[in-house]
Amino acid sequence: MSDEGLTVFNGRYELLRRIARGGMADVYLARDASLDRQVAVKVLFPEFANDPSFVERFRREAKAAANLNHPNIVGIYDWGQEQGTYYIVMEYVVGRSMADVMRSTGRLSPDRAAEIASDVAEALSSAHNAGLVHRDVKLGNIIVSDDGQVKVADFGIATALARRTGDNLTHIGSVMGTATYFSPEQAQGKALDGRSDLYSLGVVLYEMIVGKPPFTADTSTAVAVKHVQERPLAPSLLGVSIVESLEAIILKLLAKNPANRYPKAEDLRADLQRYLAGAHSIPTRTGQSPPVRTGQSPRVRTGQSPRVRTGERPATGSQTLPAPVAVRPRTGPVATAPPPSGGPPTGPRAQVPAAPGPGPGPPPQYVPPAYYYEEVHRSDGWKRTVLMFFGLVVLVAALGFLGWVFYDSLGLGDNNGPAEPTTPDNALIEVPDVSGLSYGEADALLRSAGLEPEPSYQVNTGVPENTVFAQSPPGGQRIEEGATVALTVSQGETPRVPPVRGRNRVDATEILRSAGYEVIVIEGTSQAEAGIVVGQEPSSNTELALGEAVTITVSTGPGQIFVPDVRGQTLIQAI
C-alpha cells in the first residue's frame, strides 16, 4: 500500500480504479510511478493464479506477447506476482471496444468494416510471424482509440488459457474463447494455426457489416456445431448492400476447411486494400477476370451504389466512375491506382498490382488468391449418387422391419393384446398460473402443488425484474405430479447474473447459459454435498453484459482432515 492508501504492485503500479471485468481477470486503470504514465493492469482471478502449470504457461506467453511491437497491438509492458495473484501491465488505450461500438451504433458501413478488418489483419500478421496465435479474436478484443486507431488486445493470455483447458469444448466450463467466433477446427479441439484467427476475423467482419454473427443458437455448444456443419448465409441474402468482391472475401474467410481460407493474414489484408482502392473485379471459374470497360461500375448486391473514394465524385449526368483496377497476382511489378484525371494518386496508400501492358496474343490466365468461394467438384458424382440411393433403400427397409417388430411386441396387432397403461385423470395435477408473480412466489406455489419449477432468465424491458412472464405448460393444463414447469423470468432492463448458489452443477450451468452467459467451473472441498454450487463470481444480481463469463465453485465434498497423533501428550499440549 502507498501513503495515499492505493494498492501498489511491484512498488510502481498504483491501481486507481477498476475499468473492466472479464472471464478470467479484472482490469484496472493504474499509474506507472516510475515513468509517470497511465497503464492498464490486468489481475488474474485466484483460480488461475493457483494453477502452477497455467502460471508457467502464462509467464511464457506473456513474455512472447511482450516482444510484439506493432501499432495495431495493445502493448504489454510488464508482468509479475503480487498479493497471491499474477498481473500483466499493458498499454492503456483511451477508446472503446468494437463490441461497445456495435451496441451503440449498430452495424457499420462495408468500407469502415473493411478498414477495421484490414488493421486487425495487419496485427495478426505480426503475431503469426512471431509464432503466436491469438485464439480469441472477437469484437470485445478489438479496441478503437478516440483518435481512430485500431488495436487488438489479449495476445498471450488467451493462448495460455487455451492450453490450460486443452480447447475441449465438451468439458463443462472449459470452453476457450467465445463460441460465436470459434473456427470449426477450434470447436472440434484440433490443433490451431493462424488460419483459425482468420476465420474468427471473418466472423467479426460479417457481424460488423450484417449486424449479427453468421451463427446463433441457444447454447454455446449448438453455436459451435453450426460452425462445423452449416454454411453461412451470404450478407446480400440478408438484405445488406455489399459489393460482390467484399462479400467473396468474407465467404472465403468463413470456409470450413482451413486450406480454402487465406493462407496468411497479409494475403487477406492485401485483398482488403485492393477493395478499398476500388478493385472490384472477380475472377471467373476458369481463373480469368471478366472484361472491364471504361465507365463500368462494380456489381453491387441489393442495389448498393458503387463506393466513392477520396478525390472521386459520384456519377451525375454524363460523368462515369473510373474503371475498376484489374486484379493480378502479386508476382509482377506493382503500381498505384491512377486518379480519374491523370493527376497524382488519391485515396489510400494501398498498392494495387499493375494491369498487363499491351502486347499480342490473348490475356494471360491467372488465379488470384481471393474473391471466390468454390467447392471442389468431383468427377465421380454419379457413383456417389448410386451408392446413396441403395443406402437409402437399405435404411428404409431396416427401419420398416424394426417398426414392425416394435409394433408386434406391443401386441397392437392383436385385439386381445395388453392395453396401453394410462394415468387416471384424477391422478393429474392442474398447473397453477404463475405468470406475473415474482419468481419466489411462483417457485413456492409450484412446489406446494407437487411440481418442479425450472427457471430461465431473459432481458425484458416491459416486465419488472425477477417477475415470471411465461411458463410451459401453461396454467390450467393437467400434468403428472413431479413434472417440470419451465418459467421464463425477467431480468429487467439491465442483464443481471441469476442466483445459482445451492443448485447442482448441471442445473446451475444451464441456468447461466440460458441467461446468456459463458460458464467457468472450478472445484473445491466444502462441507456441502459433492456437486453443489457453493459460490459464484460475479455474485447473483450483479450487472454483467451478456456473453461474459460467470465462475461457479462446485463442492467436491468434505476434504480429508489430518489428525495428529497426540498420544502421550498432556491435555494442554494436545489442544
For 272-321, the DSSP string reads HHHHHTT------TTSPPPP--TTPPPPBGGGPPPP--TT-----TT--P
Q: pLDDT band at residue 573, thresholds of 50, 70 and 90?
A: low
Please, what is the angle between helix 110-129 and helix 194-210, to 10°? 170
Residue ranges of the chain that CATH labels 3.30.10.20:
427-493, 516-575
SS3 222: helix
Question: Does domain 427-493 correspond to CATH entry 3.30.10.20?
Answer: yes
CATH class of this structure's domain 516-575: alpha beta
- Mean pLDDT, all residues of the chain: 76
Least confident stretch, 172-181, 201-210, 267-276:
172-181
Strands 95-97 and 142-145 come out as: antiparallel
Residue positions annotated with a catalytic role: 136
What is the identity of the amino acid at 476?
A: G
Residue ranges of the chain that CATH labels 1.10.510.10:
96-284
Residue with cell 493480378: 328
Task: Indicate the pTM of the whole model.
Answer: 0.52
For the chain, percent of residues with pLDDT exceeding 90: 38
Question: Does domain 96-284 correspond to CATH entry 1.10.510.10?
Answer: yes
Highest mean pLDDT among 158-162, 349-353, 411-415, 532-536: 532-536
The per-residue pLDDT for 401 is 82
Strands 452-458 and 549-555 come out as: unpaired
Say how far residue 207 (Cα) sits from the centre of its chain: 11
Highest mean pLDDT among 202-216, 438-452, 455-469: 202-216
Least confident stretch, 209-213, 243-247, 460-464, 499-503:
460-464
Those residues with Cβ within 8 angstroms of residue 69's Cβ, 6 or more apart along the chain or in another chain: 75
Once rounded to an integer, what is the mean pLDDT over residues 434-450?
91
Residue 447 burial (CB count, 10 A): 11
Those residues with Cβ within 8 angstroms of residue 471's Cβ, 6 or more apart along the chain or in another chain: 431, 433, 434, 435, 442, 485, 486, 487, 488
For 420-476, the DSSP string reads PP---GGG-EEPP--TTSBHHHHHHHHHHTT-EEEEEEE--TTS-TTBEEEEESPTT
User: Is the distance from CB of 328 to CB of 355 less than 8 angstroms?
Assistant: yes
pLDDT of 235 > 70? The answer is yes
Task: Just give the CATH number of 1-92.
Answer: 3.30.200.20
Strands 25-32 and 478-479 come out as: unpaired
Q: pLDDT band at residue 1, thresholds of 50, 70 and 90?
A: very low
Phi/psi at 485 (nearest 5 deg)? -115, 115
pLDDT of 81 > 80? The answer is yes
How many helices and strands (H and E) does the chain possess? 14, 19
Residue ranges of the chain that CATH labels 3.30.200.20:
1-92
